[in-house]
């Protein structure tokens, strides 16, 4: 971490800044929680959402590090580290960590993405102090012992093998490779067998020290909780672990920048003896902060977001060519992807790809009907509210928001933004995004003649 990473805020005296700053960002009502943020003097951010009507709480810590921060030789280090933080601290063995959460029926897990890593525990509200204690201990006091690194290497190699055995999953990695090539965003989060075998305890420890500074972390907590109590306990836990920074510091700013992604017409085929051919056909999408993302969300929903969507209707409902077919967006700080997945019999892969390509072209040229847009807006709005019923989802929303946008927006504001999307905006984003020449990834038992024809699809 170097100083240019820091958010440029107006500097005040150390004394003034050494006090925790707390703000209420969203005032709750009608089943929507109150969202508050405290920034501790050492730069640790704590966001919470208080919702007294529930009986559970989810506590998470987000780290501003993902696989895109890895140099090529360290590919997989972020995810490896995520595993190792469960292997024991100076206060607890691995078994003591898992036993404590299991004993109260909590759910503890972590996930590593390309731009962030999150550790969390979901528990009954009365068990929140335990969850805070354990997750903070893991984040601040992990030992990363040589012998744990060696044993965990086996588990991670099995995780890679397991992913390989699920072609409907790893075809997305192959698509990222098609779009980004030999680039941090084009590499798998899990790393490869070679890089995972080459990673050392020392290398991972350095990675840990560099990326888990409090200024790089966001604490997020949601449920039947008390903001001030959460802040006090987190602060005490970090202080006790000696993980509190000495001097005042500002949190790291969200990633920013703009990257022009111009990949077009690339085809990546992995020949494998699967039952289905698994395909992703896609194009460059939008960065996370792009204002057109609301319109793209509507477009994505109407095109491949549900049973009434165009792709589902054309591919499955009318023709029975696939069981699973959908579109999706994925966004990074500086760029994004838009893709269509389908799994189908190898002999029908060209029919399916032709239908998908035609649909993308058609919508790029003609947009969607007003009825489709209205339905997609309703779908997005309804599923947004329905998707925030458990405290894990609430924690995710505010934690990711803080880390990736540096701001909190209320559910009502999100709903309003969705409702405000106009047919013109959808038409425009459809032309810009779907009008691009696509690329393609395929996993399946394609014969040479079939494989050769894949290039026609992205012509």
Catalytically active residues are 82
CB of 19 to a copy of itself, least distance (A): 36
CB of 435 to a copy of itself, least distance (A): 25
Q: Does 8 bind a copy of itself (CB under 8 A)?
A: no
Give the interface segment with a copy of itself, choosing from 173-181, 197-205, 235-243, 380-388 (CB under 8 A).
Answer: 380-388
Out of 344, 364, 433, 440, the only residue in the binding site for a copy of itself (CB under 8 A) is: 344
Out of 382, 437, 453, 456, the only residue in the binding site for a copy of itself (CB under 8 A) is: 382
Phi, psi (rounded to 5 degrees) for 61: -125, 125
> According to CB under 8 A, which residues from 173 to 232 bind a copy of itself?
none
Out of 324, 417, 435, 451, the only residue in the binding site for a copy of itself (CB under 8 A) is: 324
Q: Does 323 bind a copy of itself (CB under 8 A)?
A: yes
Edge-to-edge order in the sheet of strand 277-284: 267-271, 439-444, 277-284, 336-344, 325-331
Residue showing tokens 């989060």: 189
CB of 318 to a copy of itself, least distance (A): 7
- Looking at beta carbons, which pairs linking 360-363 to residues 24 or more positions away fall under 8 Å? 360/281, 360/283, 360/303, 360/434, 360/438, 361/434, 363/299, 363/303, 363/310, 363/430, 363/434
# residues contacting a copy of itself (CB under 8 A): 78
> According to CB under 8 A, which residues from 388 to 447 bind a copy of itself?
389-391
Q: Cα separations (Å) of 200 from 92, 102, 139, 155?
A: 23, 30, 19, 15
| Interatomic CA distance for residues 403 and 218, integer angstroms | 6
CB of 103 to a copy of itself, least distance (A): 4
Q: How many CB atoms neighbour CB 163 within 10 A? A: 15
Question: Which tokens go with 232?
Answer: 């006090």
What is the per-residue binding string for a copy of itself in 101-120, x denoting contact by CB under 8 A?
xxxxxxxx------------
Q: Does 295 bind a copy of itself (CB under 8 A)?
A: no
Q: How far is CA 170 from the centre of its chain?
A: 16
CB-CB contact of 82 with 135 (8 Å) = no
Q: Which of 120, 244 has the CB closer to a copy of itself? A: 120
Give the interface segment with a copy of itself, choosing from 21-29, 149-157, 243-251, 358-366 (CB under 8 A).
Answer: 149-157
Q: Does 306 bind a copy of itself (CB under 8 A)?
A: yes
**What secondary structure does DSSP assign to 328-343, as a single string?**
EEEE-SS-EEEEEEEE
Residue showing tokens 């994505």: 300
Give the interface segment with a copy of itself, choosing from 10-18, 38-46, 49-57, 112-120 (CB under 8 A).
Answer: 49-57
Q: Does 56 bind a copy of itself (CB under 8 A)?
A: yes
């Amino acid at each position: 971490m170097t100083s240019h990473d820091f958010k440029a805020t107006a500097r005040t005296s150390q004394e003034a800044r050494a006090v925790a700053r707390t703000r209420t960002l969203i005032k709750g009502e009608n089943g929507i929680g109150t969202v508050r943020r405290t920034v501790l003097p050492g730069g640790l951010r704590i966001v919470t959402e208080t919702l007294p009507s529930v009986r559970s709480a989810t506590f998470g810590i987000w780290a501003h590090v993902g696989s895109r921060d890895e140099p090529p030789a360290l590919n997989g280090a972020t995810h490896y580290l995520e595993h190792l933080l469960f292997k024991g601290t100076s206060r607890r063995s691995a078994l003591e960590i898992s036993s404590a959460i299991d004993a109260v029926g909590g759910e503890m897990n972590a996930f590593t993405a390309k731009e962030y890593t999150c550790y969390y525990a979901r528990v009954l509200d009365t068990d929140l102090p335990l969850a805070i204690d354990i997750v903070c201990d893991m984040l601040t006091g992990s030992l990363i012992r040589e012998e744990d690194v060696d044993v965990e290497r086996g588990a991670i190699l099995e995780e890679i093998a397991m992913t390989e055995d699920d072609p409907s999953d790893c075809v997305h990695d192959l698509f990222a490779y098609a779009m980004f090539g030999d680039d941090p965003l084009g590499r798998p989060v899990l790393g490869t067998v070679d890089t995972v075998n080459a990673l050392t305890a020392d290398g991972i420890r350095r990675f840990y020290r560099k990326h888990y500074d409090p200024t790089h972390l966001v604490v997020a907590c949601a449920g039947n909780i008390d903001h001030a109590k959460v802040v006090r306990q987190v602060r005490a836990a970090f202080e006790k672990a000696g993980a509190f920074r000495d001097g005042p510091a500002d949190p790291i700013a969200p990633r920013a920048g703009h990257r022009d992604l111009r990949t077009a017409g690339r085809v990546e085929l992995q020949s494998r003896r699967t039952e289905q051919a698994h395909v992703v056909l896609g194009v460059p999408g939008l960065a996370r902060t792009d204002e057109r993302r609301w319109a793209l969300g509507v477009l994505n929903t109407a095109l491949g977001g549900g049973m009434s969507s165009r792709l589902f209707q054309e591919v499955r409902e009318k023709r029975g060519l696939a069981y699973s077919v959908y579109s999706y967006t994925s966004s990074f700080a500086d760029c994004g992807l838009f893709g269509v997945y389908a799994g189908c019999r190898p002999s029908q892969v060209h029919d399916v790809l032709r239908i998908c390509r035609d649909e993308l072209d058609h919508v790029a040229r003609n947009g969607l009907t007003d009825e489709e847009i209205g339905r997609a807006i309703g779908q997005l709005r309804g599923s947004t509210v329905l998707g925030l019923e458990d405290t894990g989802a609430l924690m995710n929303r505010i934690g990711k928001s803080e880390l990736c946008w540096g701001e909190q927006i209320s559910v009502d504001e999100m709903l309003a933004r969705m409702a405000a999307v106009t047919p013109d905006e959808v038409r425009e984003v459809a032309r810009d995004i779907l009008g691009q020449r696509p690329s393609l990834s395929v996993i399946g038992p394609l014969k040479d003649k079939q494989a050769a024809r894949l290039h026609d699809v992205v012509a």
